[in-house]
Amino acid sequence: MLRKRIFILNDSNLQQIIHPSLLKRKIIHFDLDAFFAAVEIRDNPRLKGQPLIIGGMPNERGVVATASYEARKFGIHSAMSSAQAKKLCPQAIFLKPRFDAYSSASAEVFKILTNYCSIIEPMSLDEAYLDVTNISHQTSATKIAENIRHEIFLKTKLTASAGIAPNKMIAKIASDLNKPNGFAVIKPQFCFPFMQTLPLKKVPFIGPVTSRKFASHNLFTCSDVFRIGKNYIIENFGPNAEWVYDKACGIDESEVITTHVRKSYGEEETFIKDIINYSDKINMLKKMVASLSEYLLKKNISFKTVTIKIKYSNFTVKTKSKSFPLYFFEKNILEKISLQLLEEMNCEKVPLRLMGVSVSNVINKKDLQQETLFGDYI
Ligand SMILES: [Mg+2]
């Protein structure tokens, strides 16, 4: 318990003793700026300077995946309905996402990152944490971040922002401070005072539900939480809320995790006898979707990409995928997309010896709230 009593009061000023965890690591958080929009502008310079929205069309029931900085000036942000975005900025240009282009740009960026550092945790196509503790003896973490940003721009013509800090949480907040095309360094001795300037809702991990609960006790900022003290937090929000106090004080001991165990989930089946009848194919796919969906719900998995795989009787394999800007988990949507993909594969009359359905770009729903929250200030 003593270990966590890290601050002492000195007159009216707070003097900090640096928490030991802040001296253990050097983390860089990279985040490409308005990624989908930036790729579109790079590939079509006439879009430069325009309010640009990547996502669903306003006359459909889609949402904004990414808005260019010019569009953000109108109050448009990711996850807003495209219809609402159109109302806010009627002259905005709407484009459907081109995930192939984004994936290949992302692959180029990650190739650069891996040239510098082996401890990388990708968070999405355009975001990653690097643990540079062991490689920042010769060159400072800041210099490494600047070299990487420079090389990313040189090779991909895309800009990335970086946050450099002793832990993932503060690095993540820092990369947002000087966006776009900027960086911020929060050194160990400034972590506590820096956090004290922030509202709770700006802290990763602290979702809107937690923020609201704390707000009902007049606790709006990290500073409010620190001043009220850990005992008050535990008494009023339960022992499980202790972590909020730690985060508010700038403590986050989570490691940069290089391997995510599962990248996709799926079902596939090789048939004893080739299936020829189209309605049999549909029924088989529906059965697979139902079983996959049941498993995903049980495991709390949401996903962005659906893939259908078929094998002809001559062993030719074909796959077709569809990706979406936001995560979803509903069985009926998965079924609809799967059937649509099957239809697009033109295999009505072709005998099939195998069929499969899988989802990728997955996330556990408990992390989804963070993702949505991050979306607000990416
Ligand atoms: Mg981004």
Protein residues within 5 Å, CB atom, of ion ligand 1: 31-32, 35, 126, 378
Sign of CA dihedral 117, 122, 128, 130: negative
Query: What pLDDT sits at residue 259?
Result: 63
Ligand 1 centroid to Cα of residue 96, in Å, is 18
- Per residue in 77-103, pLDDT (tens digit) is 988 999 999 999 999 999 999 988 998
Q: DSSP of 335-376, one letter per residue? A: HHHHHHHHHHTT-SSS-EEEEEEEEES-EEHHHHHHHHHHHT
Ligand 1 centroid to Cα of residue 35, in Å, is 5
What residues in the chain have per-residue pLDDT under 70? Answer: 1-16, 259-262, 366-378
- Per residue in 29-67, pLDDT (tens digit) is 999 999 999 999 999 999 999 999 999 899 887 889 999
Query: What pLDDT sits at residue 260?
Result: 53
Query: What pLDDT sits at residue 262?
Result: 60
Is the distance from CB of 36 to CB of 101 less than 8 angstroms?
no
- For the chain, how far is it from start to end, CA to CA, in angstroms? 36
Which amino acid is residue 178, in one-letter code?
Answer: N
Beta bridge partners of 337: none
Where do the H-state alpha helices sit in the chain? 35-43, 69-72, 82-88, 99-116, 141-156, 168-175, 188-196, 208-215, 222-228, 230-237, 242-248, 278-298, 331-344, 365-375
Residues found in the chain? 378
Is the distance from CB of 228 to CB of 245 less than 8 angstroms?
no
d(CA 48, CA 30): 23
- Per residue in 293-304, pLDDT (tens digit) is 999 999 888 898
Query: What pLDDT sits at residue 257?
Result: 86
Ligand 1 centroid to Cα of residue 25, in Å, is 23
Ligand 1 centroid to Cα of residue 160, in Å, is 8
Query: What pLDDT sits at residue 261?
Result: 52
Is 33 flagged in the annotation as binding? no
Ligand 1 centroid to Cα of residue 83, in Å, is 23
- 127 catalytic? Reply is yes
User: Which CATH number does 264-361 carry?
Assistant: 3.30.1490.100
**Of these residues, 70, 121, 127, 335, which one is catalytic?**
127
Phi, psi values for residue 192, rounded to 5°: -65, -55
Is 131 flagged in the annotation as binding? no
d(CA 211, CA 209): 5
Q: Domain spans of the chain?
A: 264-361
Is the distance from CB of 62 to CB of 55 less than 8 angstroms?
yes
